[in-house]
């Protein structure tokens, strides 16, 4: 069976699911309609706005793209939301987010299939990008915030930096959603080509040949989440 074709969307082109009380929520990618999968949303809060929700039957991996705020989870200590901070929220968590007084807040939130019953954590956890080890694959580097051995056995959240140029086309053994945080380029996916800029989101199913080319002069920065958990360097196939 050939891999699915993948999807590329621009955040600004997505009609909000909610736009009220200073909160705008957009669903960028949803692969869970037929079976458990990944759902990526962006949540924008105006200064002092509040956003309440529950994770339900899935866990969620968050990342602070812009601004500051505070996360409160029922029965747990509060968590400061600062730039480049990742947060792992377990299933069944009721939460409230409040944006800072002087700045808005933009969150990336990806729902992932819940962990096995024997998972040894039951609370939320925060981790900063700057505190994570730098790893490399080819001439690209990345830092894993959550993944195997990093408190999340079911999915991986990472930030990658892509230098100018194009690496070989390749595919992965996992289902992945990638969000461009900064930079510009071209996504080569299954023989098609898509422009990349901050706010572009791509879904890359397992086995789909792809490459993210950086056509700018500086680093392209991307935020990836994939399931099942693995290393961002894991590849099924590579073609020059």
Of residues 145, 190, 184, the one with CA closest to residue 162: 184
pLDDT string in tens for the chain (240-residue length) = 345 667 899 999 999 999 999 999 999 999 887 677 899 999 999 999 999 999 988 899 999 999 999 999 988 889 999 999 999 998 889 999 999 999 899 999 999 986 545 444 457 799 999 999 999 988 889 999 999 999 998 899 999 999 999 988 989 999 999 999 999 999 999 889 999 999 999 999 999 999 999 999 999 999 999 999 888 888 776 665
Give domain limits for the chain: 7-115, 130-239
Beginning with the edge strand found earlier in the chain, give each strand of the sheet holding 69-73 in spatial order: 50-54, 94-99, 69-73, 79-81
CATH top class, domain 7-115? mainly beta
CA 31 to chain centre: 14
Q: Which CATH class is domain 130-239?
A: mainly beta
Q: Contact at 8 Å (CB) between 215 and 155?
A: no
Asked whether the domain spanning 130-239 has the same topology as the one spanning 7-115, the reply is yes
Residues 6+ apart with CB under 8 A from 159: 63, 84, 129, 142, 143, 145, 181, 221, 222, 223, 224
């Amino acid at each position: 069976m050939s891999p699915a074709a993948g999807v590329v969307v621009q955040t600004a082109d997505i009609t909000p699911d909610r736009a009220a009380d200073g909160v705008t929520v957009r669903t960028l990618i949803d692969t869970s309609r037929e079976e458990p999968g990944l759902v990526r949303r962006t949540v924008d809060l105006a200064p002092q706005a509040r956003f309440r929700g529950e994770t339900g039957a899935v866990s969620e991996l968050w990342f602070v793209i812009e601004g500051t705020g505070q996360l409160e989870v029922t029965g747990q200590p509060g968590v400061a939301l600062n730039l480049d901070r990742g947060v792992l929220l377990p299933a069944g968590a009721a939460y409230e987010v409040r944006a800072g007084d002087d700045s808005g807040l933009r969150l990336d939130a990806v729902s992932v299939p819940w962990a096995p019953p024997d998972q040894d954590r039951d609370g939320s956890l925060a981790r900063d990008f700057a505190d994570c080890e730098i790893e490399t694959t080819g001439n690209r580097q990345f830092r894993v915030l959550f993944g195997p051995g990093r408190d999340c056995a079911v999915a991986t959240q990472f930030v990658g930096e892509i230098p100018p140029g194009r690496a070989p086309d390749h595919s992965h053994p996992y289902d992945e959603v990638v969000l461009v945080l900064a930079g510009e380029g071209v996504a080569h996916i299954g023989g098609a080509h898509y422009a990349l800029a901050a706010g572009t989101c791509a879904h890359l199913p397992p086995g789909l040949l792809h490459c993210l080319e950086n056509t700018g002069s500086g680093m392209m920065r991307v935020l990836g989440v994939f399931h099942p958990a693995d290393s961002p360097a894991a590849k099924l196939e590579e073609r020059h």
